[in-house]
Structure 1
Amino acid sequence: MKKAFILIFVLLAAAFIIFLLSPDVAPDLSNLVPEPTEQARYSFSTNNIEPQPTPTSPATITPTVSFAVIGDYGDPSGPADQVADLIKSWNVDAIVTTGDNAYPRGTEQDLASANERYADFISACHFFPTLGNHDWGYPDSNSYTAETLPSTEFFGNCTGNRYYSAVLGDGLVKIIVLSTDSREPDVILQSDFLQRELLTPEPYKFVFTHEPPYASCEGKTSDRSRLNFVGVTAVFSGHCHLYEHLNVDGMTYIVQGAGGGGQTDQFNAYQEGSLLQYNAQKGAVLVEVYPEAAKISFIAIDGSVIESFTLPPQ
């Protein structure tokens, strides 16, 4: 009897061990693996990266609102025309610039020549410009004052100021456009302006400035553009004639100065947090905003998607 009892005990113990080791009931440890950070999702790339073909999907979900971002596009012809054709193929709701909207000096004639391609967006007030250094006059010895800027007259019916905000997509998105050139008299005041604008309830807030807070092109960043961006989804800038995606201290920065104007700049300075660098072609950024996420893509003039990533609402 005693031997039978021991045998039964051994069999029950073995069955219990097999049960624990079964894959159907093994504990799920996947939730203990952290989600990859943005830094982990993107490897450092050079301007020689291979562009990826535009993805196709059998079912397309229409975003709530979409807009294009261009910068340093202010030449009246050349690659800037190809960038404009690319943007028009997207059927976006609006266009936002990162500055240098008219080369070389930001005159009324320069503005008219460079922006004729976007006349429909401008007349409908779906065009939101940022002031660049060329828009303030070039060279600096030929500068305009805040009261004599041709750009505020040219775009003034829609924006009304050198720095401003606008809400898109029935309250889903706010764009905040800053003017941080050295000739801007209200640079310090704009820090308070930005903080007031960030108190509103829009889940996505995008900031635009010309000179980048951070970038890998030497001599073109500016401390004036380094503000308190807590609560901002992403910060866009231009001035460097290239495309760069950075994450600095947890904030997403996009340098989009590849709009087709001027020379092509080089990546000639180290910037910590640089995730992707590209200057092989001109192009534009497409921002597609859904309630659940904002999708940001840089697309070259040949249609290649150089990168695409998503950001959550704030």
Structure 2
Amino acid sequence: MGVLLAGLSLAALAVWQQTNPPASPYRPAQRAQRLAATALVTDYFAGSAAQIRFAVIGDFGIVGEPAAQVAALVRGWQPDFVVTTGDNNYPDGEAETIDANIGQYYQEFINNYKGQYGPGSATPRFFPVLGSHDWRTAQGQPYYDYFTLPGHERYYDFIWGPIQFFMLNTNPEEPDGTRATSVQGQWLQKRLAFSRTPWQVVVTHDPPFSSGRHGSSDWMQWPYAEWGADLVLSGSDHSYERLERDGITYVVNGAGGRTLYFFREPLEGSQVRYAADFGAMLVEATAQQIQFQFITRTGAVIDAHSLQR
């Protein structure tokens, strides 16, 4: 849908970047050139808050419990915004089911909301990625019709406070490809190279690495760390897992409401695995730290982890 700036100018973005430098700033001349370029390299700039609080949900798009209980948990946190790891609309991504599956529980976060469950949000606060079930109907057309997302909506990026998020489409039929050398892969590499926020977070549906039922998605095993990512969030496997690979953290978070899956043999680097109950992630971030927890629908904290600068 084009570039969204939430009422903030590109000059405001450049000012924010100048006053929130990364850990290893460039020399002044190089830095000025880099800032001039990066002022344009994002699909949506939400604001310059020094501290943010957001939720991550995955594989959640179904009516009734336990998805409703996970949604109540998330709303109770009063997050600034919600990120999803896909499979937002079971079973087949159809227009007839999308509002009941999503809007019924999350309308207060959805900008330009078109459904029947409330007024929606005045600004974008719900950032999904396409899942395999969302793709089943017309390669996601009901999803595009329902949401107003940055860029061309299949994959996009946005900045909120100290994090730039890169929201990928991992469906193998993606027109721009799903390999590191594809158009989408090169888009990510370039956007990461130009990113000037303290943190870079990649969000996918199919997990690059997973010990769960579906397992690892080799077509998404891109060189995220080499390109500059700090954290990769994924779904697809209906469980929670945290892994440390290639010097960065990978999280599989697909326990948002659909039937839970079992684990296979743990992969190298797997630190935490949980599939006993449904839940979501609560994340808080500053320029110096990202702290996240996986919390069940009953409030039990299963994992707590932090990334430090």
TM-score normalized by structure 1? 0.74
Query: Aligned pair 1:180/2:170, yes or no?
Result: yes
Query: Aligned pair 1:126/2:125, yes or no?
Result: yes
Structure 2 residues not aligned, in runs of 5+: 1-48, 112-120
Larger CA deviation: 225-234 vs 112-121 = 225-234
Residue 262 of structure 2: aligned partner = 266
CA distance in 1, matches of 2:138, 2:288: 43
Q: SS in structure 2 opposite 1:149? A: helix
CA distance in 2, matches of 1:307, 1:180: 26
Q: Would you say the 8 A contact 1:68–1:94 is kept in 2? A: yes
Q: Would you say the 8 A contact 2:214–2:237 is kept in 1? A: no
Residue 154 of structure 1: aligned partner = 146
Q: Would you say the 8 A contact 1:240–1:265 is kept in 2? A: yes
Query: Aligned pair 1:110/2:101, yes or no?
Result: no
Residue 15 of structure 2: aligned partner = none
Q: Aligned residues: percent identity?
A: 38
Q: SS in structure 2 opposite 1:190? A: helix
> RMSD across aligned C-alpha pairs, in angstroms?
1.6
Q: CA deviation at 1:63?
A: 7.2
CA distance in 1, matches of 2:107, 2:280: 18
Query: Aligned pair 1:289/2:285, yes or no?
Result: yes
Query: Aligned pair 1:202/2:197, yes or no?
Result: yes
Q: CA deviation at 1:99?
A: 0.3
Instruction: Summarize deviations over 1:58-100 as a string: whole Å, max 9, x none.
Output: xxxx971111000000101111101111011111101000000
Q: CA deviation at 1:225?
A: 1.4
Residue 138 of structure 2: aligned partner = 144
Q: CA deviation at 1:220?
A: 3.6
Instruction: Summarize deviations over 1:262-296 as a string: whole Å, max 9, x none.
Output: x1100123311100000111000111002221101
Structure 1 residues not aligned, in runs of 5+: 1-61, 138-142
Specify which of 270, 273, 279 is matched with residue 277 of structure 1. Answer: 273
Instruction: Summarize deviations over 1:222-244 as a string: whole Å, max 9, x none.
Output: 12211121221210000000000
CA distance in 2, matches of 1:195, 1:115: 31
Larger CA deviation: 174-183 vs 222-231 = 222-231
Counterpart amino acid of 2:164? Answer: K
Residue 234 of structure 1: aligned partner = 231
Q: SS in structure 2 opposite 1:92? A: coil
Q: Would you say the 8 A contact 1:235–1:252 is kept in 2? A: yes
CA distance in 1, matches of 2:195, 2:85: 23
TM-score normalized by structure 2? 0.75
Counterpart amino acid of 1:132? Answer: G
CA distance in 1, matches of 2:224, 2:191: 11
Query: Aligned pair 1:307/2:295, yes or no?
Result: no
Specify which of 145, 157, 160 is matched with residue 165 of structure 1. Answer: 157
CA distance in 1, matches of 2:50, 2:297: 22
Q: Would you say the 8 A contact 1:176–1:207 is kept in 2? A: yes
Counterpart amino acid of 2:147? Answer: F
Q: CA deviation at 1:218?
A: 3.7
Q: How many residue pairs were aligned?
A: 242
Q: Would you say the 8 A contact 2:213–2:261 is kept in 1? A: no
Residue 219 of structure 1: aligned partner = 214
Counterpart amino acid of 1:118? Answer: Y
Q: CA deviation at 1:219?
A: 3.4
Q: Would you say the 8 A contact 2:58–2:253 is kept in 1? A: yes
Residue 74 of structure 2: aligned partner = 87
Aligned 1:1-40 pairs, distance under 5 A: none
Q: CA deviation at 1:158?
A: 5.3
CA distance in 2, matches of 1:70, 1:161: 19
